[in-house]
Structure 1
Amino acid sequence: MMYTLSQIAQTLGRPVEGDGTIRFARVAEPAAAGPGDLALAMSPAYAEALHAGQARVAVLWEGADWRAMGLEGAILVPRARLAMAGITAALDPGPRMNVGLHPTAIVEDGAQIGEGAAIGPFVVIAAGARIGARARIAGHVTVAEEAVIGDDALLMQGVRIGARVRIGDRFIAQPGVVIGGDGFSFVTPEESGVEKARRTLGDQGEITQQKWTRIHSLGSVRIGDDVEVGANSTIDRGTVADTVIGRGTKIDNLVMIGHNNRVGEDCLLCGQVGLAGGSTIGDRVVLAGKVGVSDNITIGNDVVAGGGTEIYSRVRDGEVIMGSPAVKMETNMAMYRALRRLPRALEQLSELRRAVAGMTGGKRDDD
């Protein structure tokens, strides 16, 4: 498909510099861009690479002298990553799916399919499920009984939606997502070793045999509008109340959200984040890769947790934290610097002890 520079400018809400009628088929990095490409050089650091390429048109940083770069047209943008979002959205055709029901799909009696929906091969939609208008469901997806999926949803290959799950509009699930699996909740007839260790801070007492009995999940999962879930991530349903994911939250690949969690709006949960059960996450929280959240704690609004942080206790609104256990990021960095200095400090201490021993005739202070 061909695009004009003016079309992209209109998408970005920016004026066209030069010839807006020039057409291109794809975007490219500056040095690799040919005459039929739109070069993306939205920082002065890419100026030299742009000269190495053959692009006629480019998206540049605000204030760039596009004529001096030998270009015939340009779009100048103040915020590169925001511009990238608009450009990629305009040029991404998305998966190709034909509107209607594929002959191999199974739609059980009582299921409802919205107008303009595309249901791919080997999809199974159970009784009582409702699929919104213009939803696109790729091959081998399963939607269980009484689940509800809103308008304009995109479910990629192999997604599993459990019973009674409620999902809002414009939902995106990448391949392998599982929403609404049973929560990981078990109990023993008597107080378990885990419970004893937690109560006593480590002493299990007498070790006895114990057998685990499942606590079944009667709740489900409720997801707001404009939520995205990355490949192979899982969200367990609640024990009694629903597990909740707020509007606009974005979840990366390989994220595990346990039962009874409540995640707020516009959060970012990056790869390999894990939430144990029963915690409450505020709005606009960012959890970087491999962050772990303990069970039954509260994380306030606008919290940012650095990669690998392990959160065991309540976090107040707006805190920026890092480390294991989590502390304020500035404290964590000070601790890290101190740790790096520790070997040298120990050497200095050893030298000082030898010097003191020499001054006292070889006797130590505690002799």
Structure 2
Amino acid sequence: MTEFTLDQIATALGAVVEGDAELTVVGAAEPASARADQLALAMDPKYADGLAKGSAQAAILWQGADWRALGLKAAIFVPRPRYAMSGLTTLMDPGPEIEPGIHPTAIVHQSAKIVDGAAIGPFVVIGRDVIIGENARIASHASVAEGSTIGRNALILQGVRIGARVVVGDNFIAQPGCVIGADGFSFVTPEKSGVENVRKSLGDQGEAAQQSWTRIHSLGGVRIGNDVEIGANSAIDRGTIRDTSIGNGTKLDNLVHLGHNVQVGEDCLLCGQVGIAGSSRIGNRVVLAGQCGVNDNIFVGDDVIAGGASKIFTNAPAGRVLLGYPAVKMESHIEMQKSLRRLPRFMKSLKPDN
């Protein structure tokens, strides 16, 4: 079990430690449940009571807290508590256990290039002409198909499936079970289908003939920048002709789906169950909260923020804050909801006196 001195933790966080800086801890905990060898996370005054219930000797505290009065031997003070969590968890996270080298049960094509320092776990399958970058780690039962490239310091966890012609940058993280580079969901009929008629008429299917769907194959790939993270069981489809792409620094939560040809910019945050339909373009620094949906072939501008379950059917200009189904300006949506709640009372006011 790794021990950390408070001085080491403060240095990693760019923070200030007061009291016994050589005091050691083995982990972090909530104040009320913290043991004597754990660092209590009490970054707000509302957690002060919890410190009395736990056994922590040291804590990360809010600015101005009197650590002596709280019964502690030492304290760390950080200017931005939530940001400090990123540094603390980075320091203390041991990461998955993937032994260096290539596990005997892994199947690696003879043409694949595994750069020094990479770790390939049990039952991994690596296809023809794949390149695995320096210090990349691939956990058990993952697969990387032919012609794909994985950058330096990648972490590909259990059961990840990376298809053909996928190019991934440095510092990539793929959580368990995600699929990158499956065929796009693209089908066509010999004559115009009812779906095409509806899109044109906005409601009338016409008299489309009964006919079957024919696959349009995905000849493109997927291109992912540096410092990207893909959540568990997410799915990113290959492009039809051009590559589906994700820019540097973008993070995808669990169960996110990007359709074929989708272009996502840099430093975006796509939360759980977001779905983006084919050929849409997402700008930089866009935040889509859980269960947001984006229609196909539209553009969402830079710095757009969409609240949970919003459905974006038309182009969204840069900087817009959206909410609702269909998505509108957040302030407009709030006013609309207020008006809906007033409707019953308003309708009563229209009834003639009896």
**TM-score bucket (shorter structure):** over 0.9
Tell me the distance in 1 between the aligned counterparts of 2:199 and 2:312.
16
Instruction: Tell me whether 1:317 sits opposite 2:300 in the alignment.
Output: no
Superposition pairs for residues 1-367 of structure 1, below 5 Å? 1-350=2-351, 353=352, 355=353
Q: Which residue of 2 aligns with 1:365?
A: none
- How many residue pairs match? The answer is 353
Paired residues of 2:277 and 2:294 also in contact (CA < 8 A): yes
CA displacement at 1:349 relative to structure 2: 2.2
> Structure 1: any 5+ residue segments left out of the alignment?
359-367
Helix, strand or coil: the match of 1:334? helix
Residues 232-268 of structure 1 show CA distances to partners (whole Å, capped at 9, x for unaligned) of 0000010100000000000000000000010000000
Residues 38-83 of structure 1 show CA distances to partners (whole Å, capped at 9, x for unaligned) of 0000011111111222211000111111111111111111211101
2:303 partner letter: D
CA displacement at 1:345 relative to structure 2: 1.9
Helix, strand or coil: the match of 2:180? strand
1:40 partner letter: L
Tell me the distance in 2 between the aligned counterparts of 1:197 and 1:317.
29
Structure 2 length normalisation: TM-score? 0.98
Tell me the distance in 2 between the aligned counterparts of 1:348 and 1:53.
58
2:337 partner letter: Y
Tell me the distance in 2 between the aligned counterparts of 1:325 and 1:314.
12
Tell me the distance in 2 between the aligned counterparts of 1:130 and 1:247.
20
Moved more, 125-134 or 65-74: 65-74
CA displacement at 1:339 relative to structure 2: 1.2
Helix, strand or coil: the match of 2:337? helix
Moved more, 331-340 or 234-243: 331-340
Tell me the distance in 2 between the aligned counterparts of 1:80 and 1:337.
36
Helix, strand or coil: the match of 2:65? coil
Tell me the distance in 1 between the aligned counterparts of 2:36 and 2:190.
73
Helix, strand or coil: the match of 2:16? coil
Tell me the distance in 1 between the aligned counterparts of 2:95 and 2:273.
26
> Structure 2: any 5+ residue segments left out of the alignment?
none
Tell me the distance in 2 between the aligned counterparts of 1:52 and 1:235.
46
Helix, strand or coil: the match of 1:169? coil
Tell me the distance in 1 between the aligned counterparts of 2:161 and 2:277.
21
CA displacement at 1:16 relative to structure 2: 1.3
Helix, strand or coil: the match of 2:339? helix
Residues 276-301 of structure 1 show CA distances to partners (whole Å, capped at 9, x for unaligned) of 00011000000000000000000000
1:147 partner letter: S
Tell me the distance in 2 between the aligned counterparts of 1:125 and 1:205.
49
Tell me the distance in 2 between the aligned counterparts of 1:196 and 1:37.
64
Tell me the distance in 1 between the aligned counterparts of 2:235 and 2:31.
38
2:100 partner letter: V
CA displacement at 1:110 relative to structure 2: 0.7
Helix, strand or coil: the match of 2:41? strand
CA displacement at 1:348 relative to structure 2: 2.5
Q: Percent identity?
A: 61
Tell me the distance in 1 between the aligned counterparts of 2:230 and 2:21.
37
Q: Provide the alpha-carbon RMSD of the alignment.
A: 0.9
CA displacement at 1:344 relative to structure 2: 2.1
Tell me the distance in 2 between the aligned counterparts of 1:266 and 1:207.
43
CA displacement at 1:210 relative to structure 2: 1.5
Tell me the distance in 2 between the aligned counterparts of 1:18 and 1:253.
41
Structure 1 length normalisation: TM-score? 0.95
CA displacement at 1:207 relative to structure 2: 4.1
Residues 286-322 of structure 1 show CA distances to partners (whole Å, capped at 9, x for unaligned) of 0000000000000000000000000000101100000
Helix, strand or coil: the match of 1:103? coil
